[in-house]
Amino acid sequence: MGRFEPTKAVKCEIIIGCAGNPGFTECGCDAVGLKSAFVVGEIGLKATLAEAGIAVVEEGSAEAVVVGLARNFSYDVLTDAMLRIRAGAAFVATNPDKTYPIEGGGLIPGAGSIVAAVRACSGVEPFIVGKPNPFLVQAAIVELGLQPESVLVVGDRLDTDIEAGKAAGCPTWLVLSGVEPTLPVGQAGSADVTGLLAIS
């Protein structure tokens, strides 16, 4: 795909890259038919899974271990996740982002850091539901009744946001307000989201 050059004459639907949990269940756990999950994550992820009819298991067997951002992550939780996966539970991850940018600059550990720990001790590669998997982008395109070439996927990571957009056949826009320091040759983008105003 060539460089996307937005102008005021170009009308694009803009999808700001995010790990939307509703899309997570629609495009991921539902797609593989999960009915129960042990969750390494926070209340929002657990609630979304429960709303989708996926039983959130604290004790006993579960079909999958679903891993997302978990600020209460502990060695005991890691051990539980490892043992479940080694015993045959599927390993599903929300996204592989190792870090997240925070307001005012700087980074904090992301869901990908938790995923990496579980991957390391279980010896199993996860099925990643979020970006760079294009499922969420493709689902949004179908829901909106659009064509991929008319949807601009915006994100601050080349290896997740931009990769997902390209895999879905969409033009992409890299914002340098997060993790990436410079624009690669041929990649459209701007220093911050104000650079998108030319598209509206």
Winning range, highest mean pLDDT, from 3-7, 26-30, 97-101, 174-178? 97-101
The reply to whether 74 and 120 lie within a common domain is yes
Total domain count for the chain? 2
Q: How confident is the model at residue 9 (pLDDT cuts 50, 70, 90)?
A: very low
Output the CA torsion sign for 93, 47, 69, 85: negative
Between CA 85 and CA 91 the distance in angstroms is: 6
Tell me the average pLDDT of the chain.
80
Q: Which of 111, 128, 145 is the last residue of a domain?
A: 128
Q: Cβ atoms within 10 A of the Cβ of 193, count?
A: 14
Top pLDDT among 172 and 33 is at 172
Task: Give every CB contact of residue 17 below 8 A, 6+ residues apart in sequence.
Answer: 131, 153, 154, 155, 156, 157, 160, 161, 164, 165
The pLDDT of residue 14? 43
The pLDDT of residue 40? 96
Q: Which of 78, 96, 128 is the last residue of a domain?
A: 128
Top pLDDT among 26 and 55 is at 55
Is the model's pLDDT at 65 over the cut of 90? yes
Residue 153: inside a domain, yes or no?
yes
Give the tens place of pLDDT for each residue, 118-174. Answer: 999 999 999 988 888 888 888 888 888 889 988 888 888 888 888 888 888 998 888
Residue 16 bridge partners (DSSP): 154
Between vectors from CA 14 to CA 30 and to CA 3, what angle results, nearest 5°? 110
Q: Which domain holds residue 75?
A: 22-128
Q: Cβ atoms within 10 A of the Cβ of 119, count?
A: 19
Task: Give every CB contact of residue 77 below 8 A, 6+ residues apart in sequence.
Answer: 40, 70
Asked if 90 contacts 32 with a C-beta cutoff of 8 angstroms, the reply is yes
Residue 3: inside a domain, yes or no?
no
pTM: 0.72
Domain CATH for 176 = 3.40.50.1000
Q: How confident is the model at residue 11 (pLDDT cuts 50, 70, 90)?
A: very low
In angstroms, the first-to-last Cα distance of the chain is 22
Between CA 21 and CA 136 the distance in angstroms is: 10
Looking at the chain, which runs of residues are DSSP E strands?
13-16, 36-40, 55-56, 64-67, 90-93, 99-101, 107-109, 127-128, 151-155, 172-175, 189-190
29-38, 102-111, 142-151: segment of lowest average pLDDT: 29-38
Top pLDDT among 128 and 81 is at 81
The pLDDT of residue 1? 30
The reply to whether 117 and 136 lie within a common domain is no
Residue with tokens 């999808």: 15
Top pLDDT among 11 and 99 is at 99
Share of the chain above pLDDT 70, in %: 80
The reply to whether 91 and 183 lie within a common domain is no
